[in-house]
Structure 1
Amino acid sequence: MELGLRSGWLTVPVPASPTAAVRGQRRLRIDPEPGAEAPEPELESPSRLGRLAGLDGLRAIAVLAVLLYHSGLDWLPGGFLGVEVFFVISGYLITGLLINEWRVHGRIDLRAFWIRRARRLLPALFVLLAATLAYALAWLPGQLAQLRVDVLAAMGYVTNWYLVLGQQSYFANLDRQSPLLHLWSLAVEEQFYVFWPVVLAAGLWLVGRRVFFVVTLGGALLSAVWMGVLYQPEGDVSRIYYGTDTRLTGLLLGAALAFVWLPRPGRETWLPTSPRWQPLVHVVLDGVALAGLAVIAWFLLAVDESDAFLFHGGLVLLAAATAVAIAAVVHPAGRIGVGVLDLGPLRWLGTRSYSVYLWHWPVFSVTRPGLDIPLDPVVAFALRLVLTATLAELSFRFVETRFRYRGVSVASNQPATGRPLAAKLAWAGSIAAAVMILAGPIATASAPARPTFLSADSIDRLVTVDRRGPGQAAASGLGPAGGVLGRGPTSRTAVSPRFLVDTRPVSRRIVLIGDSVVIAAYEAVAQKVGPVTVDAAIGRSVGEGVAVLRHRAAANDLGDVVIVDLGSNGRLTPGLFDDAMKAMASVPLVIWVNLSVPRSWESANNRAIAAGIQEYANARMVDWHAASSGHPEYFWQDGYHPRALGARLYATLIAAAID
């Protein structure tokens, strides 16, 4: 036996003669991308699968969850997990197509497969990139330099690794994030599309379908274990969230399902087909579908990125529940797929989910409520949906369907006259760019009047840096007035602002722990309460803050009063609050400053602080959120770093809590 590659065909010998291809027969085609539409008639071989009812509905649920999560509303804390549902669907359909091609033809045409993927994905992506660059040129010139690099990463489908190498957080970054950040998930899928067909074909040839099914399950398990190994509860989880190696579980579980559960004409899986068994089959399939959907709903509603469970088996459970739901809804005897998930609105959104996913984040990134547009978050979300749906529909009608079907007009099912590829791309791109540019005034002309955005570099300039290090600074006579500032727990610099050097006797030592909000306000705090020790870092998460508190507690370096301002960069769970308080058990007075930050976790974090201080006699809370609410003049344009006026109020509240 030999494995040969001839003219783009990867020939895989099979034990028996494959089913003869019926040339020229019109079949329905299915597309595995998150935004795959209901397939239109296309001349294909019998290796193509028919349309599987219910999958569009699952796609609709997944993309709607992502939109709600990115809206900044706290309605769906686990909405980011909609991407995992997409991964399972993609793994299932891609593998189903390849296995069916192998079954029918005895070979997998790699070149044809990759051409189909390119034709399906690239036109809409290129139009998005062109339109985003055009918008940035018109309205966000300051982001153009960085955006050019983002575009190159997107075109190479390596956005996820680019974000990992650049240490760009998915969850904790409060600045205006790149309008192309969301392309990380498409990069994971495209990398899967490159290597999986080759691995699958080799596996089918070398060990056969049954053995390779077990190998596929093993690969899914290995990826999940690797995720657990890399997980650091006190650090940012973006590395394991972005990584292809750690996100293969969903794709491979979907692939494994395709080995054993692939409805096709003449063989509707292994369930009994006798009429007398059909009532029971209906009940079982519908019950299984509802159970799978219930687990998915629980993850979306109750789990967030701070839950360690998610990275120690939680994502495996979600992927398994999605696979179970897929198995139940695609079976012809199931009624949930046809009767519920295939309803008009869900089918409409599901067929356009690729376009919706592509366009939603660029729209959302330039229409932040209270920052870019003076609207309530709920009203802003409605506006964002309208803009996203408009752009997605344009992309779906004039880009995706025009490039996807060779020689067949989707609307008329007649041979398409067509235009040259470059002309089509230019025409579609100009439409999308025009819509985005014309929508620019929504995100700029009506934006609230605020001073220039306070960037990380601006924060750095707020302090006078002493390069001698913390130990030398203390030795020079600064004592408790020394501070630690920096961009993260591994990059800190000692600072000695001149006003912290106070000749008055120090009756109590005050330590201020926090993130960039503290860096922006600590001068005002020191002026109000006297010398303070500052330990703050840009982008510091709650988990990293807890680690700092533990380290200082072990070194007996917490002082008499500890002021804690953490939670701007991610979830502050009751468990993390308790961990922090345990580290500060010996501190006579702990003051927690609650949050005023335009992010979905603001309310949950403030509730955790308010509830937590009730459990500890040495804890108090400064209600910074209530004091600053309705006062945009207190903040820089990012909406959460205090300006001088806000910092003075911030310091006054802390001083009152200490006294």
Structure 2
Amino acid sequence: MRSKQYVTGIDGVRTLAVLGVIIYHLLPTTLPGGYLGVPLFLLISGYFVTLQLVRQMDQTGGIQLTKFYLKRLRRLYPVLIVMLTVTTAYITLFARDLLHNIKSTIATNLLWVYNWWEIGHGQSYFDRFNGESPFTHLWTLGVEAQFYFLWPLILFMLFLVLRKRSKIKWTVFILAVASAVEMALLFDPQNINRVYYGTDTRAFSLLLGSWLALCWPIDRLNANLTAHAARILDGVGIGALLITLLGFFTLPGQSSWTYRGGMFFYSLIGMILIATVVHPGSHMNRWLTNPFFTWIGQRSYGIYVYQLPVMVFYERVVEIGRHPVINALVECLLILAISEFSYRLVEQPLAHYQWRYLPASIRHWIDFKMHDWHQWLKVGPVVIICFIALCGLMLPSKPAKKSAVQTRIEKSRQATAAKNKQIAKGKTAKVNVNSKSLQKKYGLTSNQLKAASELKVTAIGDSVMADASQDIQEIMPHAYVDAEVGRQGSATPAVIKDLKAKGQLQKNVILNLGTNGAMDSQTINDILTAIGKDHQVYWITPHVPTRDWEQTVCDQIKQAAKQNANVHVIDWNQAANGHAEWFAQDKVHMNEQGNAYFTRLIVKTILKNK
């Protein structure tokens, strides 16, 4: 511990937090709970901010709000502004489809309300496939900044009204529990954004950190513990660390339990971990202190801010699915290099900059006569990047032009909805089983077409299924198709229950899930339980060569088939390998030829198992 305020082991906790988040984004199937690094960051903020505020009130009877706010803004703004500027410039040059809503994104980030904007306009934090935004992760900065602004006022009022420290402590703890209860009550598997991004539903991590500061302040902890007490404290710390790491590996972000107590539980465990690290009588601080953790911890803010732009832009040009680990290592190196560059050229210089000299600095930089070519080498790139970003902001904010695949999916969904209504009324089209064009298009005999035309199936899936739905219903006119762009496995049990309630869940159920991410075993069990053992399930393996979870999902589906006699594999992944001509530019959605082969494989697999 270098001072009463700076605890070197906290850099170790920050390192675990930021590595958890990064690995989760890079390899979500390897570390499905890595997003739990965010509550650790919030706990740390809550603890040290409250510690500082309480110390001020104890010493002076009040809080120096202006000084407090300015200190936080000086810490948060420079890196954020640099990231927003550079990212916007890159988008302007190389990814203009991401310019849509860029003005709102920039404005809400600068005003620290981006998390609330994302609730109504942003994509799911767990949607890794459908045009992922390089700004999604910045929701946490909005939550933290709102806490920095509001918490000093709330805490001061608590001290003013309640006076007794014990009452204040338990009021803060009750507020933390209330936040967790609100998350549980508002949780909707069809729309996780509200509880995931909401300041009110994520406040419990910050408040638990604040409660710890009130109960466990560094400067009032006894460093001279007995050997037995120190061993107990170390044991608790090691246990909390192991449980935290277990959560990283086991708690999926789309599980209902995550929002109905799971995230609160791991915040409590994280709070206990931090309590042992900051205690001067524990060895946890020393064990979590080393040059690597210190290096990462000091740069953790920059690493967190720059991570997603690097990943999104890299994965737009590199097909990562075949070599996910190698590409993840390359992305990590890029993130660390950019963060180090930012730390040396932005964070450190501005941390020691005397802002009262800003007007003089501006006059100096606009005085062209005072600059030699060395100075222009420094300022020139900055001016160019800012100019490009400004041009991007001035461009009209138009939604990206729909691709041929998107247009076809939209058309297919409309046609499918109309056919679903007819099927619900008991009306179906006739299939000309002797049609040579149908036989040629799908590679099926007249007998196979006849058998397919009589099949009664329910098809549930994501955008891939939506794209192929017209072909499916062309030769299986009794097929009721429920497909949604961006559908996650976690949202499917509710869909199945709704179909069952409407009487639209046929004995044969086709599933096309996994394009948008891997599913945990609980989600797969929930899906199969919702369908029931009295149904035959035909699960299609996804072809997603641009994402690391492709093989994981294929293995999950095959494992489910081994464990459940009523589950059958439609191995589209294997059939599609080596057939780039079947796919659109994104290598995932099929073209017309691919949709025909996709449909033929479904029919042949079902008929084979009849």
Contact 1:563–1:590 (CA under 8 A) maintained in structure 2: yes
One-letter code aligned to 2:239: A
Q: Which residue of 2 aligns with 1:346?
A: 293
Q: In the superposition, relative to structure 1, how do residues 288 and 145 fare at CA in structure 2: closer, same or farther (>3 Å)? A: same
Q: Which residue of 2 aligns with 1:595?
A: 542
Q: Give TM-score scaled by structure 2 length.
A: 0.83
Q: In the superposition, relative to structure 1, how do residues 603 and 250 fare at CA in structure 2: closer, same or farther (>3 Å)? A: farther
* Number of matched pairs: 563
Q: In the superposition, relative to structure 1, how do residues 430 and 561 fare at CA in structure 2: closer, same or farther (>3 Å)? A: same
Contact 1:542–1:572 (CA under 8 A) maintained in structure 2: yes
Is 1:519 aligned with 2:469?
no
Is 1:148 aligned with 2:95?
no
Once the two structures are superposed, the pairs formed by residues 111-510 of structure 1 within 5 Å of their partners are 111-166=66-121, 168-208=123-163, 209-232=165-188, 234-264=189-219, 267=220, 269=221, 271=222, 273=224, 277-338=225-286, 340-368=287-315, 371=318, 376-407=323-354, 419-420=361-362, 430=381, 456-457=406-407, 459-462=409-412, 465=415, 471=421, 477-478=427-428, 506-510=453-457
One-letter code aligned to 1:146: N
Per-residue deviation, 1:422: 10
**What secondary structure sits across from 2:31 in the alignment?**
coil
RMSD over aligned Cα atoms: 3.4
One-letter code aligned to 2:111: G
**What secondary structure sits across from 1:595 in the alignment?**
coil
Q: In the superposition, relative to structure 1, how do residues 433 and 130 fare at CA in structure 2: closer, same or farther (>3 Å)? A: farther
Per-residue deviation, 1:416: 12
- Structure 1 CA distance, aligned partners of 2:364 and 2:268? 42
Q: Which residue of 2 aligns with 1:494?
A: none
Give deviations 1:479-504, integer Å, cap 9, x for gaps.
Answer: 699xxxxxxxxxxxxxxxxx9xxx97
- Structure 1 CA distance, aligned partners of 2:223 and 2:455? 78
Of residues 623, 627, 638, the one that matches 2:575 is 627
Per-residue deviation, 1:272: 6.4
- Structure 2 CA distance, aligned partners of 1:376 and 1:627? 20
Q: In the superposition, relative to structure 1, how do residues 550 and 403 fare at CA in structure 2: closer, same or farther (>3 Å)? A: same
- Structure 2 CA distance, aligned partners of 1:352 and 1:297? 21
Contact 1:129–1:151 (CA under 8 A) maintained in structure 2: yes
Q: Which residue of 1 aligns with 2:600?
A: 652
Unmatched tracts of structure 2, length 5 or more: 367-375, 389-401, 432-441, 443-448
Once the two structures are superposed, the pairs formed by residues 525-604 of structure 1 within 5 Å of their partners are 525-527=472-474, 529=476, 532-585=479-532, 589-597=536-544, 598-599=546-547, 601-604=549-552
Q: Which residue of 2 aligns with 1:77?
A: 32
**What secondary structure sits across from 2:200 in the alignment?**
coil
Q: Give TM-score scaled by structure 1 length.
A: 0.78
Contact 1:161–1:243 (CA under 8 A) maintained in structure 2: yes
The structure that is helix-richer by fraction is 2
Give deviations 1:404-449, integer Å, cap 9, x for gaps.
Answer: 23549xxxxxx9999449969x9689459869x9xxxxxxxxxxxx
One-letter code aligned to 1:612: A
Contact 1:474–1:480 (CA under 8 A) maintained in structure 2: no
Per-residue deviation, 1:252: 0.4
One-letter code aligned to 1:358: V
- Structure 2 CA distance, aligned partners of 1:430 and 1:129? 16
One-letter code aligned to 2:304: Y
Q: Which residue of 2 aligns with 1:59?
A: 14
Contact 1:635–1:646 (CA under 8 A) maintained in structure 2: yes
Once the two structures are superposed, the pairs formed by residues 99-118 of structure 1 within 5 Å of their partners are 99-118=54-73
Unmatched tracts of structure 1, length 5 or more: 1-37, 40-47, 409-414, 438-451, 482-498
Give deviations 1:221-271, integer Å, cap 9, x for gaps.
Answer: 000111111123x4242321111111011100000011122223xx4x1x3
Per-residue deviation, 1:640: 2.3
Q: In the superposition, relative to structure 1, how do residues 590 and 417 fare at CA in structure 2: closer, same or farther (>3 Å)? A: closer
Contact 1:66–1:83 (CA under 8 A) maintained in structure 2: yes
Q: In the superposition, relative to structure 1, how do residues 480 and 554 fare at CA in structure 2: closer, same or farther (>3 Å)? A: farther
Q: In the superposition, relative to structure 1, how do residues 185 and 298 fare at CA in structure 2: closer, same or farther (>3 Å)? A: same
Contact 1:79–1:300 (CA under 8 A) maintained in structure 2: yes
- Structure 2 CA distance, aligned partners of 1:614 and 1:205? 64
Contact 2:324–2:548 (CA under 8 A) maintained in structure 1: no
- Structure 1 CA distance, aligned partners of 2:412 and 2:365? 51
**What secondary structure sits across from 1:245 in the alignment?**
helix
Contact 1:562–1:587 (CA under 8 A) maintained in structure 2: no
One-letter code aligned to 1:613: A
- Structure 1 CA distance, aligned partners of 2:345 and 2:260? 43
Q: In the superposition, relative to structure 1, how do residues 371 and 455 fare at CA in structure 2: closer, same or farther (>3 Å)? A: farther
- Structure 1 CA distance, aligned partners of 2:363 and 2:87? 20
Higher RCO (C-alpha under 8 Å, 6+ residues apart):
2
Contact 1:542–1:576 (CA under 8 A) maintained in structure 2: yes
Per-residue deviation, 1:315: 1.4
Q: In the superposition, relative to structure 1, how do residues 584 and 326 fare at CA in structure 2: closer, same or farther (>3 Å)? A: closer
Q: Which residue of 2 aligns with 1:19?
A: none
One-letter code aligned to 1:647: N
Q: Which residue of 1 aligns with 2:438?
A: none
Q: In the superposition, relative to structure 1, how do residues 551 and 73 fare at CA in structure 2: closer, same or farther (>3 Å)? A: closer
Per-residue deviation, 1:552: 2.6
Contact 2:233–2:282 (CA under 8 A) maintained in structure 1: yes
Contact 2:423–2:480 (CA under 8 A) maintained in structure 1: no
Q: In the superposition, relative to structure 1, how do residues 522 and 422 fare at CA in structure 2: closer, same or farther (>3 Å)? A: farther
One-letter code aligned to 2:409: I
One-letter code aligned to 2:332: L
Per-residue deviation, 1:560: 4.6
**What secondary structure sits across from 1:590 in the alignment?**
strand
One-letter code aligned to 1:561: N
Is 1:50 aligned with 2:8?
no
Contact 2:537–2:566 (CA under 8 A) maintained in structure 1: yes
Q: In the superposition, relative to structure 1, how do residues 518 and 122 fare at CA in structure 2: closer, same or farther (>3 Å)? A: same
Contact 2:462–2:487 (CA under 8 A) maintained in structure 1: yes
- Structure 1 CA distance, aligned partners of 2:80 and 2:364? 14
One-letter code aligned to 1:545: T
Contact 1:223–1:249 (CA under 8 A) maintained in structure 2: yes
- Structure 2 CA distance, aligned partners of 1:537 and 1:548? 10
- Structure 2 CA distance, aligned partners of 1:454 and 1:525? 19
**What secondary structure sits across from 2:511 in the alignment?**
strand
Q: In the superposition, relative to structure 1, how do residues 313 and 530 fare at CA in structure 2: closer, same or farther (>3 Å)? A: closer
**What secondary structure sits across from 1:511 in the alignment?**
strand
Per-residue deviation, 1:541: 2.6
Give percent identity, aligned residues only. 29
Per-residue deviation, 1:65: 0.8
